[in-house]
């Protein structure tokens, strides 16, 4: 490249060629790519108990020389609720608002076509979202802010918070040319740029005393602030495409602990009560009746049936003398090892193992009869019945099965295990929820031992069962059916009422003894995000509700009303932000771009992500003109080189 070309690159704050994992603008209609200069990514996370509020701020520089529309798709953590969109250009701040999905798309497209700067956030499917920003000026910077809430995971005595960095742009190592570009850009914008590609801060308010805080993949600095903690990435941290994961462990008192939070919103009181189990618990005084159900239909052929049999062996090995058990196999018919559950001993263990080894896959799938066999007769007095249902969930009558489970469950608990790749995980999760249990996914043979060991530990250790929560007045709470509290699986209860005062009382049975915990509402800590979490829980409960086709429209209306009230992106709503001042004239062309994020560590390929920008000024116009001049020069030089090659 000529010195003039390099000089022009510096003047327009360009950057050198990058590897495939860098940030790129892809011009779809021309089939070519241009690299986007990503200036900064900042992530602020505030953790309250088992809820995290996340704000991601990204600044990009549009160096394409033309008005751009950026599009990217990004994942958020499972069960996250996206609820905020802001676009900042210079002194202008454009706030997003929740609208019905089709109306939001129409608002965005109209603003785009009229030359207005606009943004749109939509949920594509599951936890995958897409963001669009229209009319990004040439030679400008824009700051995009996206906010969402996500639940914190608790496993084996530890809390875990994950942030998917693959949803944010990746930065290449800075070479000499880029360093010069950044120095000039810093002088131009009048403020310092970060030395690290990503700045991440976690304001940790666990509500419980902690014994340890650590990061799984990155170096961190931790500062104690009374009962709270401030966590930051350590200087010089290398992201290298790894997702961020923060882990903290509460002090173990040997008893169930409580953490309580509250938030007032829209004339209502919202409260969240977390029950955290001890790290170890011997449930010696809680005899169990374990019913193991295995799917042997044709869809379970080959590897799935091998995994399913192996899973049953782990479950059988966990039984103790004094427990009662039975094994049920099914395809288009159901058959059981014994007519009724029997007491477990060594001889029956051998008998059950041989019966399981003879199971082969074939035939159709009818989950109704095995559910009837497992749930039909009530358990013996004093026994806690746990039904472990091992299947791939490939059925077409989901509504009927969910309704049957709710009607026939009684005092039983239903735990589902999804076997193999491509299982119907959504249905199995809903089935377990209806059965007051949990869902375990086992995709690969190598994971059977670990995943089944976790489930076995959970089933062996019911800390508190038959839980009842008594509120001082009428509330709407979730989950609507209260599950048990097991080791390794905390329980989060969230409720809304017009006004709350007094005590919340939690009652149940622990090791055969009456359990009661009184939590005064005055002890609930004020915390943002509790209200939106209640809204997300209500939407999830509505979408999981089993209704007739004629009632679907009513459910959609209730989801829409909740999402609008709590400003949540959902299946019925989207986030849209529009600057009412036209920025692009109708004569100026708008080009659409897609931007690749870098792949996660150890993976090839990427999602599509977006560029962006910030501020309108004379220097920006000059940079845009220089960018256009550079494009013309490079095209002219390429044509000369081609002509010389042809001659």
Per-residue pLDDT for 100 more than 50? Answer: yes
Q: Which pLDDT tens digit goes with each residue over 601-640?
A: 433 333 333 232 233 333 334 444 443 343 344 344 444 4
Q: Which two tokens stand for residue 273?
A: 């009560």
Tell whether the model's pLDDT for residue 346 goes beyond 90. Answer: yes
What's the mean pLDDT in 326-352?
A: 93
Beta strands across the sheet bearing 513-520: 485-486, 462-470, 503-510, 513-520
Tell me the pLDDT tens digit for each residue of 171-185.
333 444 444 444 444
What kind of fold does domain 288-460 have according to CATH?
Rossmann fold (3.40.50)
DSSP assignment, residue 456? H
How much is the mean pLDDT over the chain?
A: 76
Residue 356: per-residue pLDDT: 93
pLDDT at 502 over 80: yes
Please report which confidence band the pLDDT of residue 238 belongs to, taking 50, 70 and 90 as the band edges.
low
- Band (pLDDT 50/70/90 cuts) for residue 255 is confident
Average pLDDT estimate for 441-445: 77
Min mean pLDDT across 335-339, 515-519, 574-578, 609-613 is at 609-613
Lowest mean pLDDT among 44-53, 409-418, 609-618: 609-618
Q: Return the top range by mean pLDDT from 40-54, 239-253, 260-274.
A: 260-274
Beta pairing partners, 292: 327, 388
Coil, strand or helix at 644: helix
Output the pLDDT for position 596: 41
Quick one: average pLDDT of 305-310? Answer: 86
The DSSP annotation for 204-228 comes to: EE-SS-EEEEEESSS-EEEEEETTE
Give the residue among 307, 325, 308 at the shortest CA–CA distance from 316.
325
Do the domains spanning 254-281+464-565 and 288-460 agree at the CATH topology level?
no
Q: Which two tokens stand for residue 576?
A: 């849209």
For the segment 409-424, the average pLDDT, to the nearest whole number, is 85
CA dihedral 507, 543, 378, 338 (to 10 degrees): -130
Residue 414, pLDDT > 80, answer yes
Average pLDDT (357-377) is 89
Better-scored residue on pLDDT, 27 or 143: 143
- 169 Cβ contact list (under 8 Å, min separation 6): 23, 36, 38, 41, 58, 60, 197, 595, 597, 598, 609
Residues 6 or more apart whose CB falls under 8 angstroms from that of 285 comprise: 511, 512, 513
**pLDDT for 184:** 45
Nearest residue to 56 via CA among 70, 41, 68: 41
The two structure tokens encoding residue 551: 């009632």
The fold of the 254-281+464-565 domain, in CATH, is Immunoglobulin-like (2.60.40)
Confidence at 22, pLDDT banded by 50, 70, 90? very low
Radius of gyration of the chain (CA): 28
- Decide if pLDDT at 466 tops 50: yes
| Per-residue pLDDT, 583 | 55
User: Are β-strands 324-330 and 342-343 bridged in parallel, bridged antiparallel, or unpaired?
Assistant: antiparallel
- Checking if the pLDDT of 55 tops 70, the result is yes
Q: What predicted TM-score, i.e. pTM, was given to this entire model? A: 0.62
Average pLDDT over every residue of 13-26: 32
- The pLDDT, as a whole number, for residue 597 is 41
């709470």: which residue's tokens?
A: 477
> What is the pLDDT averaged over residues 587-593?
49
Higher-pLDDT residue of 453, 177: 453
Indicate whether 136 pLDDT > 70: yes
At which residue do the structure tokens 């427990």 appear? Answer: 323
- Is 127 strand, coil or helix? coil
pLDDT reading at 141 higher than 60: yes
- pLDDT category at 415 given cuts 50, 70, 90 is very high
E strand or H helix at 505: strand 503-510
Q: d(Cα 241, Cα 574) in Å, to the nearest integer?
A: 29
How much is the pLDDT for 6? 32
Using a pLDDT cut of 70, give the percent of the chain over it: 75
pLDDT tens digits, one per residue of 182-237: 444 444 444 443 334 578 899 999 888 888 899 888 889 999 988 899 999 887 66
pLDDT at 72: 65
**Distance (Å, whole) CA 202 – CA 501:** 31
Q: How far apart are CA 475 and CA 501, in angstroms?
A: 12
Average pLDDT over residues 107-112: 90
Residue whose structure tokens are 């976690």: 202
β pairing state of 503-510 and 525-526: unpaired
Residue 160: which of 201, 212, 119 has the closest Cα?
A: 212
> For tokens 């007519």, what's the residue?
339
pLDDT at 179: 46
**Whether the Cβ atoms of residue 89 and residue 573 lie closer than 8 Å to each other:** no
CA angle 392, 396, 400 (to 5 degrees): 105
For the record, the structure tokens of 143 come out as 């700051």
pLDDT at 175: 46
Q: What is the mean pLDDT of residues 505-513?
A: 89
Q: Which residue has the higher pLDDT, 616 or 44?
A: 44
Q: Rounded to the nearest 10 degrees, what angle do helices 303-317 and 448-460 cross at?
A: 40
Are 362 and 304 spatial neighbours (Cβ–Cβ below 8 Å)?
Answer: no
Mean pLDDT for the stretch of residues 561-582:
82
| pLDDT above 70 for 312 | yes
For the ranges 9-23, 362-376, 568-582, which has the lowest average pLDDT?
9-23
Tokens of 13: 């704050």
Domain ranges of the chain: 254-281+464-565, 288-460
Position 598 pLDDT exceeds 90:
no
Let me know: does 65 contact 49? Beta carbons within 8 Å: no
């Amino acid at each position: 490249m000529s010195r003039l070309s390099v000089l022009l690159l510096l003047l327009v704050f360009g950057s050198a060629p990058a590897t495939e994992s860098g940030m790129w603008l892809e011009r779809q209609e021309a089939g070519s790519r241009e690299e986007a200069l990503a200036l900064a990514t900042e992530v602020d996370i505030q953790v309250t108990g088992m809820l995290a509020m996340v704000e991601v701020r990204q600044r990009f520089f549009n160096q394409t020389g033309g008005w751009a529309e950026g599009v990217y798709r990004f994942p958020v953590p499972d069960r996250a609720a996206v609820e905020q969109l802001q676009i900042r250009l210079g002194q202008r701040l454009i706030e997003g608002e929740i609208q019905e999905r089709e109306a939001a798309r129409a608002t965005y497209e109209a603003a785009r076509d009229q030359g207005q700067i606009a943004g749109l956030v939509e949920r594509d499917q599951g936890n995958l979202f897409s963001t669009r920003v229209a009319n990004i000026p040439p030679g400008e910077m824009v700051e995009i802010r996206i906010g969402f809430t996500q639940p914190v995971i608790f496993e084996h005595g530890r809390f875990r918070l994950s942030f998917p960095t693959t949803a944010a742009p990746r930065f290449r190592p800075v070479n000499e040319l880029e360093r010069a570009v950044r120095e000039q850009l810093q002088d131009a914008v009048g403020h310092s740029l970060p030395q690290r590609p990503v700045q991440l801060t976690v304001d940790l308010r666990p509500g419980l005393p902690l014994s340890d805080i650590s990061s799984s993949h990155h170096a961190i600095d931790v500062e104690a602030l009374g009962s709270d903690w401030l966590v930051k990435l350590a200087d010089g941290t290398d992201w290298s495409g790894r997702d961020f994961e923060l882990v903290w462990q509460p002090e173990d008192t040997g008893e169930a602990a409580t953490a309580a939070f509250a938030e007032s919103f829209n004339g209502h009181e919202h409260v969240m009560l977390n029950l955290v189990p001890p790290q170890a618990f011997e449930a010696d005084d809680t005899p169990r009746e374990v019913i193991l159900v295995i799917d042997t239909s044709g869809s379970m052929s080959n590897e799935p049936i091998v995994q399913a049999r192996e899973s049953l062996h782990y479950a059988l090995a966990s039984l103790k003398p004094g427990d009662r058990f039975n094994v049920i196999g099914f395809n288009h018919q159901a058959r059981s090892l014994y007519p009724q559950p029997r007491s477990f001993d060594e001889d029956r263990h051998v008998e059950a193992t041989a019966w399981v080894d003879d199971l082969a896959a074939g035939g159709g799938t009818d989950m109704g009869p095995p559910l009837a066999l497992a749930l039909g007769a009530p358990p013996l007095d004093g026994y806690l019945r746990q039904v472990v249902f091992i299947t791939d969930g490939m059925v077409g009558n989901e509504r009927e099965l969910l309704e049957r489970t709710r009607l026939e469950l009684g005092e039983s608990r239903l735990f589902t295990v999804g076997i193999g790749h491509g299982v119907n995980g959504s249905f199995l999760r809903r089935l377990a929820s209806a059965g007051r249990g949990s869902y375990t996914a086992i995709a690969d043979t190598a994971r059977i031992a670990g995943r089944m060991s976790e489930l076995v530990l959970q089933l062996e250790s019911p800390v508190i069962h038959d839980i009842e929560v008594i509120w001082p007045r009428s509330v709407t709470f979730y989950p609507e059916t209260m599950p048990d509290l097991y080791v390794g699986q905390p329980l989060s209860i969230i409720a809304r009422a017009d006004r709350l005062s007094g005590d919340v009382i939690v009652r149940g049975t622990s090791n055969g003894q009456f359990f009661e915990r009184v939590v005064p509402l005055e002890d609930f800590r004020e915390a943002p995000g509790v209200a939106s979490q209640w809204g997300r829980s209500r939407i999830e409960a509505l979408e999981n509700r089993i209704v007739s086709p004629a009632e679907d429209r009513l459910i959609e209306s209730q989801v829409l009303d909740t999402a609008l009230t709590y400003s949540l992106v959902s299946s019925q709503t989207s986030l849209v932000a529009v600057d009412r001042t036209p920025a692009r004239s109708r004569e100026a062309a708008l080009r659409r771009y897609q931007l690749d994020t870098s792949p996660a560590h150890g993976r090839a390929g990427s999602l599509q992500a977006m560029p962006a920008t910030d501020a309108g000024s004379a220097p920006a116009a000059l940079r845009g003109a220089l960018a256009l001049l550079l494009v013309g020069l490079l095209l002219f030089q390429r044509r000369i080189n081609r002509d010389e090659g042809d001659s």
